[in-house]
Each structure stands twice: as structure tokens, then as C-alpha cells.
Structure 1
Amino acid sequence: MATPLSPAQEPQDLRMREIVAALDADFLSLLGWDWDVRVVRYPKSHPVLGMPDCRISGCVTGTVLGEPMCVGCTVRWRKSGLSLEDFTAGGRTGQYRSIGQTLCRVPGCERPCRSVAARVCSVHHYQWSRSGNPTLEDFLRRPNLRPLPDIGPCRVASCYRVRGREGNVYCDVHSARLAIERRRGSFDGDEQRWRLTTPAVAVGREVSLRGLPDRLAAELLYCLQVRTARDVKTRDHRFRQLCDRLRLLGVPSLEALEDADLVRAETTDDLRMLVRGARTALRRLGTTPETERLEDVWDLVVFGHNGTLNFSKIHHRHFREAVKIWAYDELPRRRGRSVASALQNMIRGMTLLSESLRLQREDGGRQPRLLGRTDMVNFCNRVAFLAETGTFGTHHRVNVIRYVRQITNRIRVMGLTGPGQILEGLPSDFTLSSQDIPDEPEDAEAGRDLPDEVMRELCDNLDLLEKTSNREYRVATELVIDTGRRPDEIGTLKWDCLAKDPDGSLILLYDNHKNYRLGRRLPIAKATAAVITEQQERVRERFPDTPTGMLKLLPSPVANPAGKKSIGPIGDAHRAWVDELADIMIPVVVEVDGQPVTKLLPFDKSRIFPYAYRHTYAQRHADEGIAPDVLMDLMDHRELSTTQTYYRNPQESHQTGEKSQVARSGRGLTRTPFSCNLAA
């Protein structure tokens, strides 16, 4: 078990006690942590922190989990020109440098070895050189050989080595390091500061937290614990660099660290990212929804979601606090990956309302009792002006009015305009009706499908997507095209997402996160099922020890040692792939000298995005005459009107009951054109 804080080290301030209490004893034991020694030791076997020995015979250096060799042996192998098998069989040649500090071979001697080759301390090495004994073994058998007590620890704050020579206040390495700095002229003459800031001797699998304040050491341990719990790897050399930078800065805690301090210490981007993650973990420690709701910027992780909500741009405090109460009430009813963006869009509407009041009223809108219908009309006119001048689009104009109406009505229902409430006395005519919401732009959704020529070109170039990203993003894109599911529904598929109906039809099992409809079933073709089966085999081979019920079909390549996490959104990888493709030419009918002429023109690549495949899926089924009610089921919509926005000018369906049943069973899907794996 990990050694607890000694009475002299018992934390005095509440925050320090909170951080120490959050440290898991089993995790500290895994690190071999002792509050007196203050050295983190990475284990050889662990799914995240593990650093097994290098596979080259004779090398004891730790290597990255999953890699066959340490960095040094990898460099030597690449220079050798040998195959990996031949290089591994040859073993390590030459002498290794010292790994850590070893004690003198004389039994009971507490002093360190003079060198790796000497194997005894300086005093005993001197005695051996004058003893006449040809070998060390003969010397060690001398009856009058006496062990020596240790001289004491190195005076460098970060160092946990013992001194090797009488009269020297440093270990041999730091003594040599100081001499070199003096000789080169890089030593500034302040030896006391040098002792406090110089790094410990770097040893693989070990990171010294010595010389750091108690609070800072506890914070670093807690952040390492959080990263490990999230399956995020923290390389020992990166953690060591961070500790060295913090020791140089002399800050008391991460929470007191300023970004300017990191710049001053010439901290690299990856270390700054590590610090940001650490400060985020510390900020969340002890935070609850009850405390977070008081802030103007919310970390939604506290509420069980991702992202943040920012209320700070709402100018008026009374409206800002009312919107925060609304959001606190709304969050439990929200699910899915896009909760933050959905609610933030609604909050932006209230931000525009607050801005309108500030600009258009003489009192700046600071007195809720004086507001009225005229202020809402002014707001609607301002939103129309902003849309007309291109500040945002017409679709956004509709949403702004709709969101403000929804929030203000909800605020009244919650009683926030009543006696003693934050908006007490807000007049009843300060509201919006359904008639205030502008008409939706015509064909807001329809027409986002992709032409056949574009789909054909995309399907022919999926190999390039795999090269520019990875296999999982390629498979995800194939399945989105083939099935018409939302990208996040495909991205989060479970490993066992393939099933069969009693009649033998192949079924895709997925979750509709947007509408919180779990366990949905979609008929798919054999070719699409083959893509899933092949991916299942790859995942099973990659993660043989994880139960299939916990695996994801498309596992993330990052922070995912057991295959339990899905890939992230595919949008960025997809955009990079599309942008790298050559221009996709499509036939377009134009008028030349009054006559229609067909020309090949490049297709606008900005129209090619993952969600467009869902529109394409709906359009091709509508073109095939699939009945609207069947297509609604295939799209997993609750309302037929929603499905009808996904395709243009739908033809009247004359499907018989038999043909509709064929579409439902999936057999009718084998004719869908330009699906990656289905025949035209």
C-alpha cells in the first residue's frame, strides 16, 4: 500500500486535503509511491502505464507498451540494415550505460558503485587496486573487508541518489554536471538556485517529484491518476519534462500557474496541452452541478455531457441568471453528443435579445418591469436586419426567433417572473408568438443529396481515405453511405451490431442517439454485412482479451487499450479526404446563345459532407418509388413530414403492399445505386 502523508506533511489547507483525499491508494501503490521518497515508478505491466523490458537480450530499458524495442535499440536496428528477426536474435552488443544507481558489491556497504564496470564504491575500488587480488570475487572474499556507511543524499533537491565520495555534497552525476556547466560558462554562480532547479538524473520508468511543493506533487499525482483512468497514456519522459519545467518555474501549484509562465519556461506544445488537461481535471475535482450552475461558463462534464456552455455574453445579469436556471432545468432532458452545441445555439438567441435591448432602449434594458411588446418587435427587426446584411443566414434567423420564444415562454412557466424571482414584474406582453417566427426557407433540407457521378467517384477513392486517416474512418464512411444512418450512429456501433431476423434477413443494430431510441433495427444487404464482419475480425484480433460485449466496431486509435471507446466524429478526416481528391466533374445543362448545352463542370466540394450521405440514401430510395411510410421507417423518423424534407419532388408512390414488404425486409435494397458495396 502507498505510504500516507506523515504528520509533518499533513495538508493544512482545505484544497490540499481535498486533492490528497482524491488520490487512490491502489493507484499510488501501482506507482510505488512513497511520500518520503517522492519518485513515481512506472510498472512493467499495465494496460496504460506499462513499460515492459526491451525484447533485445541484455537490454533492460523500458519500452513503450506494444513496441518490440526501446528507442535506443530501435535506432540501432534501423541503422543496422538487418531484419527485425536477425537483429533481435543477435542480442545487445557492447556495454550498457548505468540504469539508476547500484550499491557497492561489498556485503553491507551503503555507498554507490564507482562505475558500472567497477561494481564497487570508490573506497573499496581503491582497496581492491592495492590488494593484489586479480578478480573482484577474490577481493570480496577477504576476511578483513568492512562495509562502509552511506555519506548522505545528494544535495540537489530533485535527486534521490546518495553521494559517492567524502567531501562531495552531490552525487557523482550532479557533481560532473555542475563542473561541466562551470567550464562552459552556463552556470550563473547561484549554486543554491541550481540545487533547487536542476533536474534529477533521468532514469527510464522513473520520474522524480522531489523538490516540488507538497500541493504541486499531489496535483501531479492526481492528474496522472485521472489520465490513466481515462486510458490516456502519459509517457515517462513527458511527465519528467513537465516536472522539470515546474521545478524551474518554482510555482506552488498548477492552479496558480499562468500561461505566461509556460511561455517563459519555453514549454513545448505537448507539455502545454498536458498542463491544460491537468488544470481541467483539478477544476472538476470537487465540482458538482450545484456549484457549477453558479458560474457563467459551465463545464458540461459535471452534468454528464461533453463541452461547455457560455452565458457570459448575455449582457443583462437578470436575463443571464434566468437563462442559467432554464439551462439547468433543460439539461437532464438532453441526450447525445451534440447537447452543448444545441443549447449554446439557443443561448445565442438570448444573447442577441440582450444585445438588442442594450442598443435600442434608453435605459439599456436594465429594468425588466419596463419592457414590452415593442422591445420584442425591435428585436425581430434587428434579427431580420442581421440576416439581410449577411451576418447570418435566413435559416439561422428562423431559429433565433424560435429559440427566444421557447426560452422566454419556459421562463414564465417556471415562475421566474413572479414575486421575489429574478425577473419579477416582467410584463406579459414581452413575449413572442408563433406568428412572429418567419417562414422556413423553402427546401431547407431537400437537395442535399449528392449526384450519381459524385457518389461513384467517392466510392472509387475510399482507399485514399484509409491512407489519409485510418481503416476505421474508411469503414465508417462506407457504412454511412450504405445505410443512411447518422454519422454518430455509425461511429458508436457495438462490435455485435450484426444480427438476423427469423427469415434470415441481415439486420444492423444501432442506437438513435438524437431521439434517444435505442436498439433500432435496419435491414442491410449481404455486401454491407460483409464489411461489418471483416471489421469485426480485425477488432477481435486487435483486442483478443476484451469481451465482445464491451468492444466497439470502430475502436478509437487513441487512449483505447481495451477497444471499449469508439472513434470520434468523422467530419475532419472526411473533409481532409474530400479536399485531397481531384475535381469531380458533373454534367450541367447551361444556356449558350439561347440553346441548352451540357457541360462538365467541377462539383462544389463543400457540399460533400457525412450527413449528405443520409440525404442521398433518402433520395435514392424515394427515386425507386419506396412508399413514404416505409421510407420514414428506414430513416427512423417519428414524423412523415421530417422524412419528406430529405428528398426533392418525390414521385407519387404506387407501391403494392408486396413491394413495400420487400423494402422492409431489405431485399429491395440490393438495387440501390452507388452504395459502396451494393450493385447498381
Structure 2
Amino acid sequence: MTIATVGSLPGPQRSAGGFYTRAALEGWRAWLRAALVSDWRPSEWDPERMLFTGDPDNPGTTLFRCLVDRCDTMVTTRSHCSICGDAFRASRLDAEAFNSTHVPTPNRVIGARRPNCLIGGQTCDRESHNQGMCAAHMSRWHQVRKASPDTVFEDWADTQKPYGPMPSCRVVGCAHDASRAENLCLRHRKGWRNYAEQHGLDVGDEVARKAWAATRFPFMTTAQFSLKPLHETVQMELLFVMQQREDRGMVFNPRPVRLAVKRLLDLRSIAASGDAYPRLAEVTECGVRSFLRDARRTIDRAYKDYQGISPTDGTVWDLTELDIPSAFSASGVRIREGTIDFSEIQQPWMRQLAMAWVDRVRPDSRIVRYTFRGLVVASQALYGLPGGGMDPTKLTFADMDVIAEAFRVMPRWDGTDMGPKGKRLYLSSFCDVVDYGRRNGLLNQIPGTFTRHSSHRIPDEVQDEDESGKAIPESVIRQLDQQLHLLGEGIPYGAMAAEDVQAMFQTAYIVLRDTGRRPQEVARLVLDCSEKDGDDYQLIWDNRKSKRLRRRLPINQETVDAINTWKARRARLDLPPNSAGYLFPAITNNTAHHQMASSSISRAMRAWVRSLERIDSETLGPVGTPAPFDRSLIYPYAFRHSYCQRHADAGVPQDVLRDLMDHRSANTTAGYYKVSLKRKREAVKTMRLHVMDRVGLPAPMTSNSSYELRAVAVPFGNCTEPSNVKAGGQSCPIRFQCAGCGHYRPDPSYLPAVEDHIRALKGNREMAVATGAAEFVTRGLGEEIAAFQQVGEKMKEYMRNLPEDERDQVEEAVKVLRKVRAASGGRPLLPLTVVNRTVGGSR
């Protein structure tokens, strides 16, 4: 799929200057007039003055009042205005106290009309300028004070009569009083004089002054914009664009429109603008660039409708024109632009199949995205073959083999390696479209051998045993913690203020780091997600992947404090109503899910990691300084691996760690942490020297390979009995009564397993007694218990007698080998390679 700016559309006859002829332009205007809603936003839009004044109480308008109670300034995020924000930072008060007590400086916004003159209880209809009085009354007061300095202002004010209104400034939309001579307010009068001086015009030229004023903007607030300076056709086009955006569920923000209007002053029509339309690459502000891009696309689509052109004509389709549902909005209405260029598919038969599938099935935008890319990959694979796959009647099983191989090596969008799961998704999507074509009679000419087969399956990649796994090293996490204050900088998130966005993402990071939950589980946390249990706290979360809800996880005080701090801050924010029950709110009220998307956490984290000046790894570079850490390995899900690795390194028992990760199988948990091959070899090298026999006498192994070969599938220690070793531990002559066997070779790493077995045997003996078993049964169990107890006591005594440094080495080796055995399900496994003996795809 490609995302591109739509070019200028072909239209009726144009003049030599590239614009429509008058007749053609009138037809386009008539179409627009019929499409426009006449009573659009009556409380905000003034059609006579072409002036929009946003209402902060309208949920469809991105406009808010300054957080200070006595400030009426409008802002586009839920925050302070710039002046109150400066005062707040200088006040050292908390936000609640500042917002309720601060008195803002009056008359700070040049776009807003100041209150009327205070004379006569503000019945004077003229705008106040200084000390609450209009210019005329202010001049009169200065004359009185000069003549009689002792005059009391209140007594004088009571004797004054209000004046009638002054003329309005002739610049449409300007709210300020004008002078009678020029019909311009003070600021526009200065602007006109500067303009006249620069262009050699007579300041008193009424015709020139009137023409200049017709193209000027009023001095507007953040809540306003004016379309008056634009050409009539552009006015109608922009009004149509704004109404269409509202129909698509987009929230309206006046500020980008106001700035966009300034870039459209020289156009006579957006539909006919061609290369004269503003270059989006030169527009630095994201909101303005987005509005201009959407305006161009909306008008081009409307002009197609005016011409009677179908959205499915041609090979480039606009997804918004096709009403392709969005997978990310609650309404299903697609807001973002997007096009599919079917010419990227080289083969006509595959291109027609793809177009028919999109047109008839109308899948959501996410399915369209990855299915179309799968079709492009398959097309490119066939195009590289003799004949390019152009003739569908000549396709064979070998061609499908080539396509499957292309999916095995396909990269991500950014060129990095893609995992096998993603590759399988793209291959399956392509094959599903082929199956759709066969079911609906669209591929009758293609031979039946051109089909998928089990040999096309993309297997999981074999992991290198010496790799360190996906866990982020603790040293790297410490570096991230030191720079946590930078997380969330520059990340827009709906109408939330920048500092609130940072606080939200920083809290999400702390929860990810400390709890090891999946990113989606963190994003879905409910507002009351922490619960006190005695002196401890637990996190309440939902394991939706395994359909286990209301799970509980012990968390530390730091995590609880971070959650509570964010909750207190969150309580003061005006958030989307649908997000009321979630800790991390959605970006808008129109998202498909009512909480933050996990992709938002990923986006913020990757942007943060890329921006950090330095992240050191645990390895040294060529000059002896730490080598840079691979930043692509830092992503939200990796913190789940880090959580597991951290607890495994601390010696947390396997069953406890499984419960902390909320896995059903310990084998799944073992896949989340790694013991490197190097550490395993060092542990074996240490442990082989401390092997003993069943009576406690030293019996060291001569080599690492001897130790590992004799450890095959023996639960309570090593075994040297040849037939049992050859059978992989499945042919013990005395049924694993190891403590009584001369081939038994335990070592300290098996001590926990021995103790567990003793407890199990004691339970078996009690059961035998309770069921009235024969005396030889209970006697045998008792003797086996005593034998294993002797083995355990001998190993403990052996460890106590070791020198302290050697004992530390043995204990570290014990930890490593226990992890290795736990990762293989509790049994050591032989490194066997499976050889596929099928030939030619047959079984």
C-alpha cells in the first residue's frame, strides 16, 4: 500500500493560466452550493462575515478554556494559556491552588474585543483601552486632572455621559473600534500606512484602502479563523472540506485552519490549483500539513463525484472513497487518508483479482494493508521468473514454491528482519485471496497445481543457544531510568497537554518495567488496578490472551506510588468519556478501544530511545570503552522478558516464576529467560569436580562431555549405567531407586530434587500405611527414604567443608544448571537434529 498526495485531477476546459473557464467554474460552484449544509454550526459559524468562533462547550471542537478559573483565554489543549503558564511556573504553587487564586492580567489578547468603557456602568458603547475607559473618556479625564488635580475619579465618572458606538473596522471579522476618518482600527490603520508606504500609495486613497482591507485578516483569537480573504471558490471548497471532516467524525481545531488559510490566499480554486497548491514538505506544523493534505484529497474526491468518475476507476483507489472501514475507530469511519496503487501488482490476472477482492469484500483497513503487501510480494516473485507469471494458464507448483520462498525472506516495512509469525500472516493472506478467486470463479484458467502445500509452511527460527535472549540487560534499564524524564517529549496525544502526556507514558514505562505484563495488558489496566493486601499491594490485571481475568500480581511500593501519582494527576484532566474506567485513556472518544492503544506505548518508547544521546552495552568496544547497545532491542514487550530474567537470576523457584508470569506451563516460562552456552559450560566444568557416589565418596567426572552424557534423563543425579544412558534414561534396571544403585552419581546441583523426592516418598509411605499395604512395601519405602536422606546429608556436609571461595563457585554453578534443567522441562535433553527424509514434497 502506498500513501501519496493526490495530484491535480483532470477537469473541464481551462484557460491558458491553468484555471477553469468561467462556465466550468460556475458548474463546480453550483455543485458545491448544493452539497454544502446551510445551517452548519450556527453557534460558531457566521456565514455573512465568513468568521468562525469556536465554542469550548462544543465537544466537536478542539478548544478549551485556560485552566485558571478567572481566565477566559482559549487554548487548544487542556492546559494553561501561555501567560498563565509562565505565571504558574513562577508561582511555586500546586496547580489546584494556582488555578483557583490567580488573577490574570486583563486585556492580554489582541484578537479579542476588550470590554466596553466603564463609564455609565459600561453603557458606553466604545471599546476600553486604558484604566477601563475608552479613548475619548480617557482623554477627558486627563484634561480634568490637569486642570483640577484634586478631583476624585469616582465623583467625576458619575457625572459623565456614555458615548455612542464608533464605526466597526472595515476588515471583515475584526471586532475592534475604528476611526471615523479611515474606518480602520488602530492596528489595521498602522498596517495600512506601512503597506501604503512600502508600495508608494497615497494613505488617503479610499479605493486602495478599501481594496487592501478586503484582503486583510482580522486580529483573531485561538478560537477563530476567517475565510473572507480567500477567493469565493476557495471559500466554498474549504467550507465543504470542514463539513466533510465533521461527517467523518473528525474533531474540529480552528488553529490549523487559520494558518492554512494564509497559505491559500493566491489560489482561485483548490481543485484547479495544480502545482500552485502549497508544497506540504515546506509546511512545518503537523496540524496544518495534515489539514492541507486532507483538504486537497477531499476536494479532488468531490470533483470526481462532480465529473461522475467512480472511485474504482483506474488503478489507484482512495480507501476513504471506498468506505473501507477502519479497524481503529469506534464508528468504523476511516479518518486518515490512504490509497492503493494496484499498478504495483505486475500481472494483470493478479491485479484484477486483487481489485475484485477489495471491491467485493471491503475488509477493514488493517486486513487490506497486509493482504495488499502480500500480493505485491507474490507478484514481484513471479515477475522475476521467465515469462513473469503473466500467463495464468502456465502457472505450476514450482511457481508457488518461488512465492513461498519470497515470503520466507521478506523484510519488515523498514527493511529490518521480520519474524516467522509475520511472514506466515502475509503468506496466508495471499493464499486466502487466491482461494477466494477460485471459489468465486475468478481463477478458472489457473491450473490446480498452483496451490499451497504443507511444504510451504514457514517454521519458527531456531535460536542460537549462545544468544542472550530478548531480555534488556539491567545495566541498560538503569540507564533508561536515569533519562526517564525525557520519555514522552514531543509526542502528541489528543488534546492532552504535553506535561500530562509525558507523565502518562512515564507511568506506563514504570508499570511495564516493574510488573512484566504484556504491553496490551498494561494499556488495558482499569483505573482501580491496585489493591492493598495486608502490608503489601497487588496489581489487578486481565490476562485476555489466556482468557483469565482479574489476576493479581504482587507489586512494590515504588510501582504503587507511580500509579497513584498518575491517578491524582489524571483526575484533574478532561478526558474522553469512554475512558473513564481506565488508567491510561484513549487518544480520543472515537477510538475502537476505550483505553490507550499498546501501539501508542511502543511509538513513544521507540521515539524516546532514538532520541537518547548514549546507551552503553555490557561489552567493550575496540578501544576499551563500552560498545553502544543495539537500540532496536528496546521495545515494550522486551520488559516482560527482563522481568522474567531478573527473577530467574535471583533464584526464584520455577513454579513460582511460572505463576508470576501467569503461564500454564513451566516450559513456556523457561522460554522467557536464557542461560548462555558459555555460562553452562563453566557451570559444568565446576560441578563435574564435585560429583560423589551413593555413599558420599568423591567420584569426579573426567571431562565436561562425560558429565553431560551421563546426565541424560536421570531425575536425581548423574547415571553411569551403560544401558540406561544409551536408552536416554528410559531403561533403569531398578526403576529409579537411585540411592541404592552403584551407578548413581549425585552432585550438589541435584540437592533440591533429592529433597523433593524424599518428601514425595514420605507421602507414599503414609499412603501405603493408611491403605494397609504389605509390610515389605512400607519397609522398602522407609529404607529408600533413609538412603536418599543419607545422600542429601553427605552433599550438605561436603558443601560445608568446602573453602568459602570454592563454595561460592559451586553455588553459582548450581543456579545455572538448575535453570538449564528447568528450561528443558526438568530433564536434560540431547542436542539432536531432526532430518526431514521426505523427497519431492511427498510423505
TM-score, scaled to structure 1: 0.64
* Residue 443 (str. 1) matches residue 463 (str. 2): yes
Whichever residue aligns with residue 266 of structure 2, its letter is L
Residue 406 (structure 1) aligns with? 428
User: What is the aligned counterpart of 1:466 among 463, 485, 502?
Assistant: 485
Q: Per the alignment, in what secondary structure is the counterpart of residue 569 of structure 1?
A: helix
Whether the 8 Å contact between 2:543 and 2:549 is mirrored in structure 1 is yes
Instruction: Say yes or no: does 1:262 pair with 2:278.
Output: yes
Query: CA contact under 8 A between 1:38 and 1:209: conserved in structure 2?
Result: yes
The residue that corresponds to 1:36 in the other structure is 48
Instruction: Classify the secondary structure of the residue corresponding to 1:40.
Output: strand
Question: Could you say if the C-alpha distance between residues 109 and 321 of structure 1 is closer, same or farther in structure 2, counting changes exceeding 3 Å?
Answer: farther
1:119-268 residue pairs with structure 2 within 5 A?
138=159, 140=161, 155-156=170-171, 159=174, 164-165=179-180, 168=182, 170=184, 173-185=187-199, 194-203=212-221, 205-212=223-230, 213=232, 214-219=235-240, 221-222=242-243, 230=251, 234=253, 236=255, 239-246=257-264, 248-252=265-269, 261-263=277-279, 267-268=283-284
Q: Provide Cα deviations, 1:201-241, integer angstroms capped at 9, x if missing partner.
A: 335644333344452452465488589965x8x465x5433
Superposition deviation, residue 242 in structure 1 = 3.1
Residues 1:613 and 2:639 aligned together: yes
2:605 aligned to 554, 570, 574, which one?
574
- Write the letter of the residue equivalent to 2:445: G
- Do the aligned partners of 2:532 and 2:538 also contact (CA within 8 Å) in 1? yes
Asked if 2 retains the 8 angstrom alpha-carbon contact of 1:52 and 1:64, the reply is no
Q: What SS does the corresponding residue of 1:302 show, helix, strand or coil?
A: coil
What SS does the corresponding residue of 2:600 show, helix, strand or coil? Answer: coil
Q: Secondary structure at the match of 2:445?
A: coil
Equivalent residue letter for 2:288? R
Alignment of 1:542 onto 2:563: no
Task: Please say if residues 51 and 205 of structure 1, whose CA atoms lie closer than 8 Å, have aligned partners that are also in contact.
Answer: no
User: Cα gap change, 1:438/1:266 in structure 2, threshold over 3 Å: closer, same or farther?
Assistant: closer
2:509 to 456, 463, 477: 477
Counterpart CA distance in 1 for 2:427 and 2:184 is 72
| Equivalent in 543, 553, 567 of residue 524 of structure 1 | 553
Counterpart-to-counterpart distance in 2, 1:385 and 1:526:
42
Q: Are 1:376 and 2:376 an aligned pair?
A: no
Root-mean-square deviation (Å) = 6.1
Counterparts of 1:440 and 1:98, CA distance in 2: 63
Q: State the alpha-carbon separation in 1 of the partners of residues 409 and 128 from structure 2.
A: 81
CA contact (8 A) 1:619 1:648 kept: yes
Percent identity over paired residues: 18
**Structure 2 counterpart SS, 1:474:** helix
Is 2:528–2:583's contact at 8 Å kept on the other side of the alignment? yes
Question: Structure 1: 5+ residue runs without aligned partners?
Answer: 1-10, 591-597, 660-671, 674-680
Counterpart for residue 319 of structure 2: 298
Q: What is the alpha-carbon distance in structure 2 between the residues aligned to residue 293 and residue 274 of structure 1? A: 25
Are the counterparts in 1 of residues 33 and 236 from structure 2 also a CA contact under 8 Å?
A: yes
Task: State the shift of 1:354 in Å.
Answer: 1.0
Deviations 1:489-529 (A, max 9, x none): 31232213346999x994532364xx5x666343311417x
- Alignment-derived partner of residue 488 in structure 1: 520
Shift in alpha-carbon separation, 1:373–1:15, aligned structure 2, 3 A: farther
Q: SS at 2:449's partner residue? A: coil
Deviation per residue, 1:559-582 (Å, 9 max, x gap): 99xx97537533354343484455
* 2:449 maps to which of 411, 429, 440: 429
What is the deviation of 1:373?
Answer: 2.6
Measured in 2, the distance between the counterparts of 1:77 and 1:490 equals 32
- Answering whether residue 394 of structure 2 is matched by residue 366 of structure 1, we say no
Q: 2:36–2:240: 8 Å Cα contact kept in structure 1?
A: yes
CA distance in 2, matches of 1:258, 1:38: 26
Matched with 1:49 is 63
Corresponding letter in the other structure for 1:359: G
Q: In 2, are the aligned partners of 1:298 and 1:310 still within 8 Å (CA)?
A: yes
- Return the offset for 1:648: 4.9
Summarize the Cα distance change of 1:475–1:403 in structure 2 as closer, same or farther, 3 Å threshold: closer
How many residues align? The count is 591
How far residue 243 of structure 1 moved from its aligned partner, in angstroms, is 3.2
Pair 1:539–1:443, CA change in 2 (3 A): same
Aligned counterpart in structure 1 of residue 346 of structure 2, from 288, 292, 315: 315
Is residue 511–residue 522 contact of structure 2 (8 Å, CA) maintained in 1?
yes
Rounded Cα–Cα distance in structure 1 between residues aligned with 2:669 and 2:192: 74
Report deviation, 1:550: 1.6
Q: Matches of 1:108 and 1:171 in 2, distance apart?
A: 20
Q: Distance in 1 between matches of 2:339 and 2:659?
A: 34
In 2: Cα distance, 1:604 partner to 1:211 partner: 53
Closer, same or farther: CA 305–256 of 1 in aligned 2, 3 Å:
farther
| Structure 2 CA distance for partners of 1:251 and 1:113, relative to 1, 3 Å | same
1:405-428 Cα shifts (integer Å, max 9, x gaps) = 524542354354654x3x342221
Q: Is 2:572 aligned against 1:553? A: no
Q: Give 1:49 shift.
A: 1.4
Contact 1:495 1:549 in 2 (8 A): no
In 2, Cα distance between equivalents of 1:507 and 1:103: 57
Cα distance in 1 for residues equivalent to 2:160 and 2:625: 95
Whether the 8 Å CA contact 2:618–2:627 is kept in 1: the answer is yes
State how far apart, in whole Å, the 2-side matches of 1:158 and 1:477 are: 48
Structure-2 residue corresponding to 1:583: 616
Find the aligned partners of 1:186 and 1:252 in 2 and give their Cα distance: 31
How far is 1:60 from its partner? Answer: 6.7
Task: Report SS of the residue matched to 1:570.
Answer: helix
Does the 8 A contact of 1:505 with 1:523 survive in 2? no
- State the shift of 1:270 in Å: 4.0
1 CA distance for matches of 2:88 and 2:625? 57
Which AA in structure 2 matches 1:100? R
Q: Judging changes above 3 Å, is the alpha-carbon distance between structure 1 residues 353 and 191 closer, same or farther for their aligned structure 2 residues?
A: farther
How far apart are 1:542 and its partner, in Å?
A: 3.3
Which whole-Å CA distance do the structure 1 matches of 2:438 and 2:229 have between them? Answer: 54
Note if contact 1:111-1:162 (Cα within 8 Å) is conserved in structure 2: no
Is residue 447–residue 646 contact of structure 1 (8 Å, CA) maintained in 2?
Answer: no
Contact 1:103 1:112 in 2 (8 A): yes
- Equivalent position of 2:841 in the other structure: none
Q: CA deviation at 1:435?
A: 0.9
Offset of residue 192 of structure 1: 7.2
Aligned to 2:824: none
Corresponding letter in the other structure for 1:566: M
Cα pair 1:122 1:164 within 8 Å, conserved: no
Tell me if structure 1 keeps the 8 A contact 2:586–2:596. yes
Q: Report the Cα offset of residue 351 of structure 1.
A: 1.1
Is residue 468–residue 674 contact of structure 2 (8 Å, CA) maintained in 1?
no
Query: Which protein has the larger Cα radius of gyration, Structure 1 or Structure 2?
Result: 2
Q: Give the Cα separation in 2 of the matches to 1:643 and 1:327.
A: 41
**What letter matches 1:554 in structure 2?**
F
Given residue 618 of structure 2, which amino acid in structure 1 is its aligned partner? M
8 Å CA contact 2:88, 2:98 repeated in 1: no
Change (3 A) 1:481 1:375: same
Alignment partners' CA distance in 1, 2:437 and 2:175: 63
Asked if 2 retains the 8 angstrom alpha-carbon contact of 1:99 and 1:203, the reply is yes
Shift of 1:374: 3.7
Q: 1:115 to 1:98 in 2, by over 3 A?
A: farther
Residue 20 of structure 1 pairs with residue 18 of structure 2: no
TM-score by length of 2: 0.54
